[in-house]
Structure 1
Amino acid sequence: MKYFKTGISLIVILLVGHYLHAQWTAPYANSWIDDDQPYVKIGILKKGLHRVPFSALPKGFPVSSPDKFQLWRRGKEVSIISTANQEIVFYAGPNDGASDSLLYRPMSARMNPYYSFYSDEGAYFLTVGNRPGNRAKAAPAPADGSIPVVTHHNEHITKVFQQDYSFGTNYPINPGFWNSYYELGASRTSLVYKDKSEAVIDFKLDDFVSNAGTPKIKLMLHGRSKNSRKLELYIGKNKNALRLVKALDNTGFAAVEYAFEIKPEDLDAEQKSVLVIRSPSSDPYERFSIAYYSIEYPGKLKMGTRQEYLLPAVSHQWSSIPVKEVPLASRMIDITDADNPVLLNRAGDNLPLPRQPGKSVILLSTSETIDVAPAKIREMHFQNYDPKAADYIIITTEALRSGAKSYADYRSSSAGGGFKPAIFAIEDIYDHFNYGEPSPVAIKKFMAYMLSGGVQDKYLFLIGKSVTQNERMVREIPGEVPTIGYPGSDALLVEGIAGGAVNAPVIPVGRLSAVTNQNITDYLQKVKAYEAIEPEEAGWRKKVLHLSGGKTTGEIVQLRDHLRALEPAVQKGIFGGTVKSYVKQQPTEEVENVDIAADLNEGVGMITFFGHGGTLITDPSIGHVRDANRGYHNLNKYPVMYFNGCGVGNVFCNRFNPTPPNPKAADRITLSLDWLVAPDRGAIAVIASSFESFVSPGITYLSSLYHHMFENTETVGLPIGKIQLAVANDVLSKHKDQYNIAYVHQSLLQGDPALRLLTVAGPDYAVQAGEGITLYSDSVNKTIGESDSLRVSVALTNLGRFVAGQVVPVEVIYTGEKAPVFRKVNIKFLASKQVFQISFPNGKDVKSIKVHIDAAQTLKELSRNNNVSELVIDWNLVKDMQVFSDKTLKDNIPPILNVSTGGRFLKQEESLPPNPVFNISLTDDRALPADTTLVDIFIRPCRNDECNFERMPYASNHLQVRASGSNALEVEYPAALAPGKYEMMVNARDASGNEVTQPYRMYFKIVKPEDMQHSLVVSPNPTTSYLRFELKRAMAQPLKSVRYLIYDQRGNQLYDEDLLVPDKKPVMEWYWQPKSNVMPGLYSYTVLLIGALGETLDVRKGKVVIQ
């Protein structure tokens, strides 16, 4: 979470790029596909001629009519060189990233033509059509033999840097604000130049033809700090002869391109030169980097030494190229139009080349034909996509298809909403809608196509991971369902399409960053449980937790007050909920833990966090939901979570490991994703910013979210994805600055967008469970039996929607030996909870108190099953009490937990022999079944959060649970642990779910048998009345007995005793109490350790003072 100044000091930036954006309308990128034809996809990684033998094509691909072979790239047919000799020869090249420009604002902001963000592999499609395919044509012979000879070509020296990213997400010095779309020429670059360092580029113009033209340099630079600067370009024959070419103005992290001519004096006699780039800025954080440089100069044409030649424009219609040194087997092809190459035929030692006056030519001369690897040849099965066939669209990977299928099956069922789901593999979407090139562009084009009939009631659910932190991206983005940009934005995948406004998503979109099918299964089980809950069982959803942080007193107060201002929306709106707040207590940079386990486990509908955060932590810290020491187990009571904290929603940084070696591991699963995908606990949905969070736009977004979730009659109860759309439109209609726009883009919904969260379709009145009816004496000084009248307290709840002004009739019935006594009360403003009291004469015969809500059934409710509650009373039991309710009988007492080994309790840091057996005992005031779910044992091989706790499954660890009386149980844990340091944690609960007051935690060591030494401690010293001997045994050195002797100062023996050593106890204790005739003074002791054969293994001696 970050702050920026508001008012006149806030610079509202309305970038032109917001409006100069890509078009996503027809014709769509799949218009070239004929679904009735077979296709083969061919992957290309290098420029040049390529060969695919017919035999390498998939079995069943028709090869009987090679004249009908067609080759396609990016929706255009490519002319094949040859299909002779049972092979296909064609010119092809890798992916140049051209489609990346669709993700930039404006599109022209893609300034680096040499770098592709996502993919290097060019995609070509071979098919068999119903007409002859295009073939490369041969150039005609010149009519006139007198043709001007070309003696030089345009030589290029290009260096592209890819060591770093221009926005530097790994650096503390960064823009501080990111849009999710690409801008400012964002690109890979060199490492940064800082601390007054300069970039020095030495180069040489080999075979430079000085009279054929002027050499030129073009380069692209990036600022890498927030300040403005002058980037000075120098060139000269050496560093001592530099001239200033230009001082380029540059601000922040923007890119700047510049081209200039190299003068003759810039070159030495060997045509060498040096380019120097400096920043004279005095800013201590000044940084810059280089994206690329390209040097173009006229070079002597030496055919045969390379593959491609750029021939300068001429004014005539033919050129002659000397090819004497070119092997006769070489092919020469005009590839100026790479999709339509022209075959050239040599005439002796010359190559006639037809020209278009005023245009340059790219000439390919090669004897190499690259065989396409079999792995790069893949059979395709294009299918027709019907935009109207599905209203619930799932995009996933092939690896996750089985899990996605289960999810789609549920969504199509009546329990799941009766949707018309359809699953689309991301690989197919690349092929259909981005010409086979991996990129989020494909998803956006696909969604534009699926909405081509108009924006309908549709949902998009992305199932799969995406990694867009540039430094962690993998080329070709394998196994991903990509988002747009970094910070990642799924909203931009459906923004501005189907006639929608710029920046506004047009349909709900959510993401489940699953990496396994089990992740999908676990989440689906949570969704099923959430949607199956009956209204009368969902009262816990009306509870909202507010957590606020801050590092200073001012921040703490500000964030607390922001959330307080939202409480009326929860409490007094249609939702009619309750709010419980946790506020950070100490104004410090340190993270403060907050314990919300009791609230979460009891059930809360929403948790809202407003404070500082990161991908792995929040402040105040709630931890990962699978952190064993947190004690979270909220089965079937899953909240929606909202985080306003920097990067809490960033699931695009390649952190997906739920069991890392330690909590600080670089791949540890992000906090928000852990809460979402953890089985049987955690959250049902998470909304959080995928990167930086700012207070002002954050509270703007959150205020709108609360309004639409809790107050607005048109949006309360809608699916969460539609509520997000309403929030986006609300924010965008009122705010045009880049911060609020980015907040809309980067507010990531993790979870199913079709989920109806916190649903309250109508009121649902009930008597509060457990202690809804309470019987009191008429004063604190009397018992119920002594009272003249009895007070009855009734706690009512509204588990559903709050209807302002609605009066709820309540009838309270006192039943005793005589006729029942009735009281009627009308309750107003029952939003969530309300308690009222009523009195009855004490007939000292009360048998029950019954409460009946709306007995005449005048109100429309979600359920009437909870309108009646009765407190059954045993007069002989309650007459001596002052208060009685169901809570009196309810089990609220936590059990008692003890852990021992060898019949004794451990001490912190104690050393234990190999294979210790731990005995866990649990006792309670009620019956305890021998149930494995009541005791959880966790072990971790470290301390201080250097690694994670791992739960010890009962079966695989040979844990045994048995009853120990009716109110106790015991668990025996034979710990097969290797030597090392460990921490044990034991959580336990009784049959009613009451947790132990505090989990048991203990550090201990397992030592090697040979490292175990007998240890003797004698205490206290000095002493007055006794000596305690504690012998810690080395189990590798068995003892039979211990003999101890006491002597006075003169050496007189006062005491001598032999003690047998228990077989299995690692610690033995005994006491010596001096007799009354032992005077104060100095005494000595001797302890002999006797082995199994009666031998003395060790002798310990010492002195003690008796006072």
Structure 2
Amino acid sequence: MKIYTPPTIVRYFLRLTLTALFAVSFGLTQPARAATDSRPQKGGIKIELSQKGVYRITGSDVSAAGVNPASIDPASLRLFHGNSEIRITVASAVDGVFDPTDAITFYAPGIDTRYTGTDVYWLYWGTAVSGRRTLPANGAITGDSPLISASGETLDVEENHTLWSDTPDAPDADYWFWEKLSAPQTTRLTFDVPSPANSSGDAVLSVYFQGRSGGSHHTVITLNDRVIGDEIWTGALAHFQTMAISQTDLKAASNQLTIDSGTAGSVIYLNRIEIDYLKNLTAKSNALIFGIHQSEKVQVSLSNFSRENISVLDVTDPVNVSLLSGINVQTINSTFKATFQHTGGEKTYAAFTADAVKTPDRITYKKPVDLKNPANRSDYILISDETFMPALEKLCELRRRQGMQVKTAAMEDVYDAFSFGFFDPAAVQAFLKHASENWQPPAPQYVLLAGDSNLDYRNYFETKKQNIVPVYLNHTQELGLTPSDNWFVSFDENSPVPGMNIGRIPGADTEEVAAIVNKIIRYETTEADFSNRVLLVADDDDTAFEDLNDLLASHLPFDIFADKIYARLYADLDEVTTNIKASIDGGELITNFVGHGDVTRWGAEPAGGGDFIIAPEDVKDLTNKDRLTFIVALNCLNGYFSQSFNYSLAEEWVMAPDKGAVACIAPSGLSHSQEHELFSTAVFENIFQKKENRLGDICTQSKIDAYYSGASDKVLISLNLIGDPATRLAVYRNSADQVTAHWITASAGSGGKISPSGETPAFDGSSQTFTITPADGYAVADVSVDGASQGAVTAYTFNAINKNHTISAAFKVKSGGGGGGGGGGCFISTLQ
């Protein structure tokens, strides 16, 4: 019997919360989405940055991005942030040319959303509209007015180390937290307060919590060994505890804040702390961003600049920035101070010297994206990272040979066109909705998302798992945060019913994606000898699991046979596992599991622990290369594909090279048997009665059938297809869709490599090139094709392919620095 003890992280993904009010106050405002787009629809420079401040881009920067600055008229330069053109300063000679030393300067307020901390700007030129320029403003001191050298500041101190998926109101609220506190736990935080003014006035310290347990909470807060707050509150709700303190209680460095979580049985999360205090207006590294809140006219004194060329911008409205003139600059000892007049009202200013101006993190020229072109027409859309596209090209070619029009969309292009370049999953939905409603009819039917996703958008867990195609986290009542690809194709905001067939394949790199592509191609181009068998597996603790499988068996036609493995009938679960693997290796059209599950296992309870039947290591044991199955997982959580630390079992089935499953449909949330019955019955009816065989059509229609038969919207939201929705199941195939593929097996000896390596599919009549690359100190000795020597070539192309082939490369140590031996040119051969 296999016993599994889950790691403490196994339930980290369970739900989120905070009210919309707190979401705003916590700085979780979202980047604008491109419902309307005022940007010039042409090529431009994409500017990415991760800090707020004043930025400069020079003609040399533009040149490094691949644009000749001499082709730019400085008067035509326009800078956009989201849908707004912002005012910029252009420092250029009057020759009408943007020279290498010319520059534009602009203010960026920064961005901080649940998705990203990277802000995006777009620079355009050459349009008929002149660019907007920084406005002038008078900062000269006139008349008598009070002088201030300090102003109110709000300091946010926050770290994100854990999440609670079960937070109410997720995912709209902040669901990342600093620390989980289980009473009577005490925690101590250390934080700095930049430049606190020497004042006897009041300051305010607020601590933001999230209740997890539903009862009473008692939080006692101590600052620098003095109790400043003692409060009782209740419920699994967002709560903030605000305390008035003296300005003198704050130190510039190493303040100690202690939180005692008090009441036994209480469980809360610490979210962040906020300090409202009086801050000295002293520059750091010759820059200072600050607010002035006086309603009346005052003189503002700024200090601690090491240079004299001090500029002050009014950045209250970041779109309409103005530059203050008449600044009074004086020398104080070895530093400089600036004084200007604030005319009244709530305003934000940025003061800086030239050496404090920042350079963007990334400056890239981007060609126009044609994803909004109404002339586009496609049956099949593939979205992935641009670097993954070569590994996906064979899959696209398979679809084309089946008569589909294919459109590939690089993920960055989708962001650029539909969320102004911001990382935002909503861009995917906006793109697909646009394609459905605006491209040439008929609308696209199939969407494949290719590449890993990660619910940790900001990489707080530091796992480095990428969001190659992002996940959208929906909300379900039982689980909270629930990954849902269905959301991307639900175009009516009032309905979860999908408008396209969608699926995704995982993969961290091109090799993993290519391995899945090869599995799909082999599956679809090979005549199946196992299409008359279906495996029905039931968990061991509820006869209802068996009853559902028996019901599904009754939907099979006379020529389709059911193999049943019911764990309750076995004394040892190891024998169940062995028999499941043997059945799949022998060939099963569909493998249907009914029972319990967690993210990575069959048979385990969602809470973790206990016995299990199948885990990722069992998938790795399979040998069913030519007999891939289609997995239908009627359990909980197997389809939770966006974990930060591992892959879900649904993904493991599909990612296993040359084995496992061609696709898997599984829930990313908690499920109910009644909904499983409605969905799985529809699956079997759509396949075996209606003879539908494209997986996307089967799964999407079955979800819709279940939904309209009484299942909740979870059946639409949480059932995710891991696999290509256009894959043809190995039964009831249309001969008109049949495509012939051949396989070329490539290998290399020590001392170099051949690319691509392993088995590579090649469609009938196509070409395939292999590149042979020796390692340092080695040369190509020989390349053999189908056992015949081709000499020491460094590339070989098969043309008009109509059968399987082999190619192997051998290498030798270079002798006496004499080069590669045997020639290094490209030898092209046509093999029939």
- The verdict on a shared fold, with TM-score over 0.5 as the criterion, is yes
Tell me, in whole angstroms, the C-alpha distance in 2 between the residues paired with 1:66 and 1:156: 38
Q: 2:92: which partner in 1?
A: 84
Q: 2:301: which partner in 1?
A: 322
CA contact (8 A) 1:216 1:296 kept: yes
Say whether 1:96 aligns with 2:106: no
Q: 1:723: which partner in 2?
A: 698
Tell me, in whole angstroms, the C-alpha distance in 1 between the residues paired with 2:234 and 2:455: 30
Q: 1:492: which partner in 2?
A: 487
Distance 1:513 1:93, change over 3 A: same
CA contact (8 A) 1:319 1:355 kept: yes
SS in 2 for 1:757: coil
Tell me, in whole angstroms, the C-alpha distance in 2 between the residues paired with 1:250 and 1:277: 18
Tell me, in whole angstroms, the C-alpha distance in 1 between the residues paired with 2:340 and 2:104: 23
Tell me, in whole angstroms, the C-alpha distance in 1 between the residues paired with 2:697 and 2:669: 22
Distance 1:521 1:258, change over 3 A: closer
CA contact (8 A) 1:438 1:477 kept: no
Tell me, in whole angstroms, the C-alpha distance in 2 between the residues paired with 1:369 and 1:269: 26
Q: CA RMSD in A?
A: 4.2
Query: Shift in Å at residue 482 of structure 1?
Result: 1.4
User: Quick one: which amino acid aligns to residue 531 of structure 2?
Assistant: R
Q: 2:134: which partner in 1?
A: 136
CA contact (8 A) 1:237 1:274 kept: yes
Distance 1:237 1:583, change over 3 A: closer
User: Quick one: which amino acid aligns to residue 747 of structure 1?
Assistant: L
Out of 554, 568, 579, the residue aligned to residue 595 of structure 1 is: 579
Superposed counterparts of 1:1030-1069, under 5 Å: none
Q: 2:425: which partner in 1?
A: 440
CA contact (8 A) 1:676 1:685 kept: yes
Say whether 1:258 aligns with 2:265: no
Query: Shift in Å at residue 426 of structure 1?
Result: 0.7
Q: 1:505: which partner in 2?
A: 498
CA contact (8 A) 2:505 2:723 kept: yes
SS in 2 for 1:612: coil
CA contact (8 A) 1:236 1:266 kept: no
Superposed counterparts of 1:418-817, under 5 Å: 418-453=403-438, 456-468=443-455, 480-485=468-473, 487-495=482-490, 497=491, 499=492, 501-532=494-525, 540-550=530-540, 555-571=541-557, 577-584=560-567, 585-586=569-570, 592-619=576-603, 621=613, 630=622, 632-635=623-626, 637-653=627-643, 671-690=649-668, 692-711=670-689, 713=690, 716-717=691-692, 719-733=694-708, 740-757=712-729, 759-760=731-732
Tell me, in whole angstroms, the C-alpha distance in 2 between the residues paired with 1:142 and 1:628: 74
CA contact (8 A) 2:506 2:513 kept: no
CA contact (8 A) 2:56 2:357 kept: yes
Out of 146, 159, 162, the residue aligned to residue 160 of structure 2 is: 162
Distance 1:189 1:368, change over 3 A: farther
Q: 2:41: which partner in 1?
A: 35
CA contact (8 A) 1:411 1:419 kept: yes
CA contact (8 A) 1:95 1:119 kept: no
Out of 46, 49, 67, the residue aligned to residue 54 of structure 2 is: 49
CA contact (8 A) 1:438 1:476 kept: no
Tell me, in whole angstroms, the C-alpha distance in 2 between the residues paired with 1:677 and 1:596: 19
Q: 2:823: which partner in 1?
A: none
Q: 1:378: which partner in 2?
A: 364
Say whether 1:289 aligns with 2:280: no
Tell me, in whole angstroms, the C-alpha distance in 2 between the residues paired with 1:629 and 1:525: 19
SS in 2 for 1:462: strand
User: Quick one: which amino acid aligns to residue 279 of structure 1?
Assistant: S
- Unmatched 5+ stretches in structure 1: 2-14, 98-115, 168-174, 656-666, 763-799, 801-861, 863-1107
Tell me, in whole angstroms, the C-alpha distance in 2 between the residues paired with 1:389 and 1:268: 63
Q: 1:954: which partner in 2?
A: none
Tell me, in whole angstroms, the C-alpha distance in 1 between the residues paired with 2:289 and 2:615: 61
Query: Shift in Å at residue 650 of structure 1?
Result: 3.5
Distance 1:259 1:597, change over 3 A: closer
Tell me, in whole angstroms, the C-alpha distance in 2 between the residues paired with 1:489 and 1:45: 29
Distance 1:280 1:678, change over 3 A: closer
Tell me, in whole angstroms, the C-alpha distance in 2 between the residues paired with 1:261 and 1:280: 18
- Unmatched 5+ stretches in structure 2: 5-17, 94-100, 331-337, 474-480, 604-611, 738-832
User: Quick one: which amino acid aligns to residue 582 of structure 1?
Assistant: I
Superposed counterparts of 1:403-414, under 5 Å: 403-413=391-401
Tell me, in whole angstroms, the C-alpha distance in 1 between the residues paired with 2:190 and 2:66: 53
Distance 1:365 1:494, change over 3 A: same
Query: Shift in Å at residue 393 of structure 1?
Result: 0.5
The count of corresponding residues between Structure 1 and Structure 2 is: 671
Q: 1:75: which partner in 2?
A: 83
Tell me, in whole angstroms, the C-alpha distance in 2 between the residues paired with 1:598 and 1:236: 63
User: Quick one: which amino acid aligns to residue 502 of structure 1?
Assistant: S
Distance 1:209 1:519, change over 3 A: closer
Query: Shift in Å at residue 748 of structure 1?
Result: 1.4
SS in 2 for 1:125: strand
User: Quick one: which amino acid aligns to residue 560 of structure 1?
Assistant: E
Say whether 1:119 aligns with 2:116: yes
Tell me, in whole angstroms, the C-alpha distance in 2 between the residues paired with 1:355 and 1:588: 82
Distance 1:696 1:364, change over 3 A: farther
CA contact (8 A) 1:118 1:477 kept: no
Deviation readout 1:470-523 (Å, 9 max, x if unpaired) = 77766997571112136432212222x2x3643332211011213444545544
Distance 1:500 1:153, change over 3 A: closer
User: Quick one: which amino acid aligns to residue 258 of structure 1?
Assistant: F
CA contact (8 A) 2:453 2:466 kept: no
Tell me, in whole angstroms, the C-alpha distance in 2 between the residues paired with 1:675 and 1:269: 56
User: Quick one: which amino acid aligns to residue 428 of structure 1?
Assistant: D
Distance 1:263 1:628, change over 3 A: closer
User: Quick one: which amino acid aligns to residue 581 of structure 1?
Assistant: K
SS in 1 for 2:234: strand
Deviation readout 1:130-175 (Å, 9 max, x if unpaired) = 23222212213669533443353112332111222233xxxxxxx4
CA contact (8 A) 1:73 1:123 kept: yes
Between Structure 1 and Structure 2, whose CA radius of gyration is higher? 1
User: Quick one: which amino acid aligns to residue 466 of structure 1?
Assistant: S
Tell me, in whole angstroms, the C-alpha distance in 2 between the residues paired with 1:40 and 1:87: 16
Tell me, in whole angstroms, the C-alpha distance in 2 between the residues paired with 1:435 and 1:404: 26
Tell me, in whole angstroms, the C-alpha distance in 1 between the residues paired with 2:251 and 2:565: 76
Query: Shift in Å at residue 459 of structure 1?
Result: 1.2
Tell me, in whole angstroms, the C-alpha distance in 1 between the residues paired with 2:254 and 2:384: 54
Distance 1:472 1:361, change over 3 A: closer
CA contact (8 A) 1:594 1:622 kept: no
Deviation readout 1:440-497 (Å, 9 max, x if unpaired) = 22212222222233893521111212222577766997571112136432212222x2
Query: Shift in Å at residue 438 of structure 1?
Result: 2.3
Distance 1:577 1:75, change over 3 A: same
Query: Shift in Å at residue 695 of structure 1?
Result: 4.1
Tell me, in whole angstroms, the C-alpha distance in 1 between the residues paired with 2:420 and 2:355: 27
Tell me, in whole angstroms, the C-alpha distance in 1 between the residues paired with 2:68 and 2:466: 26
Q: 1:1018: which partner in 2?
A: none
Tell me, in whole angstroms, the C-alpha distance in 2 between the residues paired with 1:685 and 1:304: 56
